Amino acid sequence: MVCTQSKLEENKMNKKLMKIVLVLILVGISFFLAFFYVPKSYKHTLNLPEAILSVNELFYNNSLNLRKNDGIWVSTADDNYPVDNDLVEVLLKELYQAAIKAKKYDEDVWGNDEIIIKTENDEVKLYFDELSGQTQEILAVINDDKYLLNGQFAVPSQPFEWFLQPLLPFENEDISEIYGIDPSKFSFSDIVFYQATKSNDFIEWDNREIKVIINNGIVLTFTIYAMGHSYWMGVDVATTVMPTIAADEFIKNNSFLYKDWFFELPQPIGSKLFGN
């Protein structure tokens, strides 16, 4: 009898232990789900203004990919050649200021143009209708939420317009001497470029040189490469024997924009510089 009573108590104890173990297992599963499972709608933690502040990559109309490298915005399709950083930063500043005041938008998505901006974890899609490089309304979509942004947004319509243009920041009246071209056919303000590369694929092309000496002592040597209707240009930047402080400063701060780079010129400009 005593043995039977002891077994009954042991069974009760085992059942209690099993219940405790089951409860602990359920608690453990709950903690696991809480810490490691995040529903899709809660994966992103940044709101729209914070996401814009954290942008490190920008895609424009599937024709331009900009990425921030060491604090500088560059075009990945152009061997990471720098674009107009002021232009990009001003656009992002305008977007941020508009995002702070933006309200949710419940109507259908619209816009013929698109910019996708990315952070490490978030993606914001911007839809708009660009008109002459400007737009006043942008529809922002993040985490399936839509916001209407209002402001004065400068958005270049062509990929090359995101670069610093013209290529060389000088005026013709700054010229002291010029060789290899009729001065009346040469204009710094005309020299814009479509793309840049560090690959010199033009060795076998016809080429000619133009040399320009600026009043402050900067010496610019252009090598124009031509094949058919295609024109590329290399730019060598140096100084005279006795340059001014301004010339030395220009070389120090800007030579990286020209050294070992080649620039595709629009056909009319390339033809004029080449002498066709």
203 and 236, same domain (yes or no)? yes
State the total domains in the chain: 2
Band the pLDDT of 45: cuts 50, 70, 90.
very low
153-179: average pLDDT: 96
Band the pLDDT of 144: cuts 50, 70, 90.
confident
162-179: average pLDDT: 97
What integer pLDDT is reported at residue 2 of this predicted model?
45
198 and 268, same domain (yes or no)? yes
What integer pLDDT is reported at residue 216 of this predicted model?
95
Q: Which domain holds residue 147?
A: 48-160
Q: Is the pLDDT of residue 10 over 80?
A: no
With respect to residue 36, please indicate whether it lies within any of the assigned structural domains.
no
143 and 193, same domain (yes or no)? no
By percentage, how much of the chain surpasses pLDDT 70?
83
Which among 160, 180, 211 is the end of a domain? 160
240-258: average pLDDT: 95
Backbone angles phi, psi at 52, to 5 degrees: -65, -40
To the nearest whole number, what is the mean pLDDT of the chain? Answer: 88
What integer pLDDT is reported at residue 109 of this predicted model?
95
204 and 265, same domain (yes or no)? yes
Which among 160, 178, 195 is the end of a domain? 160
Q: Is the pLDDT of residue 136 over 90?
A: yes
234 and 181, same domain (yes or no)? yes
What integer pLDDT is reported at residue 217 of this predicted model?
96
Which among 113, 143, 160 is the end of a domain? 160
Closest listed residue to residue 52, CA positions, set 104, 91, 110, 105:
91
208 and 179, same domain (yes or no)? yes
